[in-house]
Amino acid sequence: MMRKRIALFTIVALMTAALAFAGGSSESTTGASGRPVLRVAMECGYAPYNWTQTTDANGAVQISGSSDYAYGYDVMMAKYIAEQLGYDLEIVKLDWDSLVPAVQSGTVDCVIAGQSITSERLQMVDFTDPYYYASIICLVDKDSPYADAQGVSDLAGATCTSQMNTIWYDVCLPQIPDANILPAQDSAPAMLVALNSGRVDLVCTDMPTGQAALAAYPDMVLLDFSGSDDDFVVSEEEINIGISVAKGNTELRDAINGVLATLTVDDYTRMMNEAISVQPLAQ
């Protein structure tokens, strides 16, 4: 009974927040259904969070201005949020570095793209509560001298890289003693190609990205130092993944938070596992 009462209260809160959100000028675009449209930006190339595919298999959403479709954990989350708030969903495909500016300019309403809630980003955009909690891992080749590393100190001297403008590159790699840090890569796929081609000894990323990579690159080994005394040092905010909205857009932020409040960590894990299982790399 208590759960039903909480659910009823949440529904009322969501409806109130959605009505307030609908009154905003930049989010009042209506779709073919006559409902308002929630414009969500992502890379559509960052499996298992998001990727591009040629069909609507598994419930993929057509990318705005394209014949291709987007799917993945972020699309699953965007669909759930839009449905709960009574909005149509529009997926906008952008490069990683274009995501924050798109929110700031009002080109899109929010970004759902595996973004960590960093202090730097918080200066430019507002974030919702986390919609995923990701641990930091490294990927190496199975024949690498670092394949048996038990902690960050065991990676000393490694040549490494990661994706640009991420905590993996900016915060984690500098913690490796005497690391030879090469220029950051434009995307997660480019980061994985750098490792697979032997240009680097290791890359740093988060657990879902690492798990997805193993499906495409079975010769890679995932190193997880979490729980040890020799792990990467990052704040909770840096490893928590949030949805970014324009500064001051409290209506949208609160509406999304109301939806996220209906989900549990187990729900997040179930959805991510599903995304990993159907990602193109796993086929």
Q: Region 125-143: what's the mean pLDDT?
A: 95
Structural domain includes residue 234: no
**CA dihedral sign, ordered 181, 183, 186, 190:** negative
Domain boundary among 225, 250, 273: 225
pLDDT tens digits along 35-72? 999 999 999 998 999 999 999 999 999 999 999 999 99
pLDDT digits (tens, 9 = 90+) for 154-190: 999 999 999 998 999 999 999 999 999 999 999 889 9
In this structure, the answer to whether residues 22 and 98 fall within a common structural domain is yes
**First-to-last CA distance in the chain?**
43
Residues 54 and 158 in one domain: no
pLDDT tens across 234-248, in order?
988 778 999 999 999
CATH number, position 143: 3.40.190.10
Predicted TM-score (pTM) of the model is 0.80
The string of pLDDT tens digits covering residues 72-131 is 999 999 999 999 999 999 999 999 999 999 999 999 999 999 998 988 899 999 999 999
Cα torsion 64, 69, 73, 76 to 10°: value is 70
Residues 22 and 96 in one domain: yes
What's residue 236's pLDDT? Answer: 81
Please tell me whether residues 207 and 76 are part of one structural domain: no
Q: Is 264 exposed, middle or buried (0-12, 13-18, 19+ CB in 10 A)?
A: exposed
Domain that holds residue 198: 136-225
Q: Render 105-127 in DSSP notation, one character per residue.
A: HTSSSEEEEEEE--HHHHTTSEE
| Mean pLDDT computed over every residue of the chain | 89
For the chain, the domain total comes to 2
Distance CA 40, CA 91 (A): 5
Q: Are residues 23 and 116 in the same domain?
A: yes
Classified as helix, coil or strand, 172 is: helix
On the 0-12 / 13-18 / 19+ scale of CB atoms within 10 A, 64 is middle
Q: Are 215 and 252 in a shared domain?
A: no
Q: What are the tens digits of pLDDT across the range 4-32?
A: 333 444 444 444 444 445 444 344 466 66
